[in-house]
Structure 1
């Protein structure tokens, strides 16, 4: 009976050995794996008929199934479980812990589930649940041309266990939106999530702003999605999102403007600075296109500049101080 009430997860893994191992690990965690067949036999129509509470994908980067889920799924989509070390190695328990910590905010803990051996929790459901904190600080990462590479270096240089969540606003054609999570999250432990209405941000999350739909936040900080297009000529509108972040999360928020073309966000950065909120920019020398960060800096609105790795180090220091 307990099995019927366990949180449901769908598993799409192209490699059969990895698929079997992940199915075993997810089951040991206590989750109910509702799909674990060969994804090569699946099309988008059949995919849409599967009822689950989250998806875990281990698919090639060029995958129609991944693209469809990232664009249409009403439940969270987790991209990649990372490289699985040998079961008898010291790294295997760490890998289990990282995977569990990615799943916990999406599905919650399971009464009676087997926790990873290296978790330091005492074992009660309440204590495990509390390990995933609601986001204590939210920063917006705004980018355009050259942004994905810069944001990836930034996230790769930043430990994923910090008390912060990010909203990633990237000017990009809607056809490439579904690939952004796999690009920026492939080699780090951040939880890269697509927007689902009602979602609350937790520490360690990176929420990718949608291109075709506009995004806002409730007074409680939960995601609101609208079919109304973003205002202005930029999709998504960094200007609008900066105001949304300031309104929903100030003073515990900030912004970093990375490589890009145009001046989207300059006036909103001014409003954030008047609130005493940090606004940082990527330095021109490291940016593939320096127009957007330079536009913010030229107005005297950038309180720190650096390359992506330097900004990651600076943010760790800022969080420790704050």
Structure 2
């Protein structure tokens, strides 16, 4: 039986079968389901009367309920959980793990629940390469535009290092993942990277990749004045995945990451930058370009197109 003190989830999903599958999985995690329905005909007053710790939205179309919750909800809103694989497929345990990883930083674990095994991604599911998406001021909008224009079916995964207050860390998956198919996950120990995933670099704790390429969290903070330290994130990804890695520097203030971008380029790996004209703050990408480390420049949309071409042509030919 679900613990009465377990975090509460209100589920708003299209399709009865979809709701039943999600409700069963969430209950297995130990969470309380306090509301289950479709988005049709629900008024803001009805939504506001529901006492919950989190809204989980899995709907196919935009509607008034979604807009109201995203703008007015006092509790976290998790939008989208990805396509649910068949229960007997190899992808099903990974899908459950990804869903749990999204819930954990938002509402915590449920007492008495069963957490899915944090197994590393199997070799066939490993990404061809891992790139760092680095940003500061104005970064979420730029990174979202990049991901919105890039198919999640490509053989690549990303580590997203965003200078941001730690109180907003849990919201980044919703901010940059809305309207695209990328699986955006907050960082927890033991998680591995698979194609189509974006791992949020933690703010208050540093991380590294172990020999099995799984995330290892450190108790120590990131070195230097920035949290997370883009410099260190790039170095960790390079240490864990080189030569199958690269970096894109988006909108931001400061020069965090410039030296690490130089190390990437010296090792023959790609470094791309958002054009200063298209950035809310062009200081950070311009600093990388002025240092001579940027091998390609463009708007987020142009960089997405270049990434697709690079993966399908240059990377495929070279590897």
Q: What TM-score do the two structures reach when normalised by structure 1?
A: 0.71
For the 8 Å contact 1:57–1:79, the answer to whether it is kept is yes
Please, which runs of 5 or more residues in structure 1 have no aligned partner? 1-9, 48-55, 68-77, 83-94, 109-128
Q: Which residue of 2 aligns with 1:267?
A: 259
State the alpha-carbon separation in 1 of the partners of residues 28 and 164 from structure 2: 36
Residue 105 of structure 1 and its aligned partner are, at CA, apart by: 2.3
State the alpha-carbon separation in 2 of the partners of residues 173 and 146 from structure 1: 13
Q: CA RMSD in A?
A: 3.3
Quickly say closer, same or farther: Cα 1:199–1:187, change in 2 above 3 A. same
Q: Which residue of 1 aligns with 2:19?
A: 23
Please, which runs of 5 or more residues in structure 2 have no aligned partner? 1-6, 36-49, 58-65, 98-120
Q: Which residue of 2 aligns with 1:92?
A: none
Q: Which residue of 1 aligns with 2:275?
A: 283
**CA offsets 1:127-176 (integer angstroms, 9 cap, x no match):** xx979711221000000000000000000000001000000000011111
State the alpha-carbon separation in 2 of the partners of residues 14 and 25 from structure 1: 11
**Which of 107, 132, 138 is equivalent to 2:96?**
107
- Written as runs of structure 1 = structure 2, the 5 A alignment for 1:300-319 is 300-319=292-311
**Which of 294, 303, 313 is equivalent to 2:286?**
294
**Which of 10, 15, 21 is equivalent to 1:13?**
10
SS at match of 1:38: strand
State the alpha-carbon separation in 2 of the partners of residues 262 and 66 from structure 1: 30
SS at match of 2:76: helix
Quickly say closer, same or farther: Cα 1:133–1:228, change in 2 above 3 A. same
State the alpha-carbon separation in 2 of the partners of residues 277 and 24 from structure 1: 46
For the 8 Å contact 2:271–2:293, the answer to whether it is kept is yes
For the 8 Å contact 1:280–1:303, the answer to whether it is kept is yes
Residue 41 of structure 1 and its aligned partner are, at CA, apart by: 4.0
State the alpha-carbon separation in 2 of the partners of residues 287 and 136 from structure 1: 29
**CA offsets 1:274-296 (integer angstroms, 9 cap, x no match):** 11110000011100000000000
State the alpha-carbon separation in 1 of the partners of residues 205 and 51 from structure 2: 31
Residue 63 of structure 1 and its aligned partner are, at CA, apart by: 5.2
Quickly say closer, same or farther: Cα 1:150–1:251, change in 2 above 3 A. same
Q: Which residue of 1 aligns with 2:223?
A: 231
Quickly say closer, same or farther: Cα 1:105–1:34, change in 2 above 3 A. same
Residue 24 of structure 1 and its aligned partner are, at CA, apart by: 2.1
**CA offsets 1:190-210 (integer angstroms, 9 cap, x no match):** 000011101110001100011
- Written as runs of structure 1 = structure 2, the 5 A alignment for 1:211-226 is 211-226=203-218
State the alpha-carbon separation in 1 of the partners of residues 75 and 93 from structure 2: 24
Q: Which residue of 1 aligns with 2:105?
A: none
Residue 227 of structure 1 and its aligned partner are, at CA, apart by: 2.0
- Written as runs of structure 1 = structure 2, the 5 A alignment for 1:141-160 is 141-160=133-152
For the 8 Å contact 1:172–1:211, the answer to whether it is kept is yes
Length, aligned pairs only: 259
Residue 27 of structure 1 and its aligned partner are, at CA, apart by: 7.5
**Which of 30, 33, 36 is equivalent to 1:37?**
33
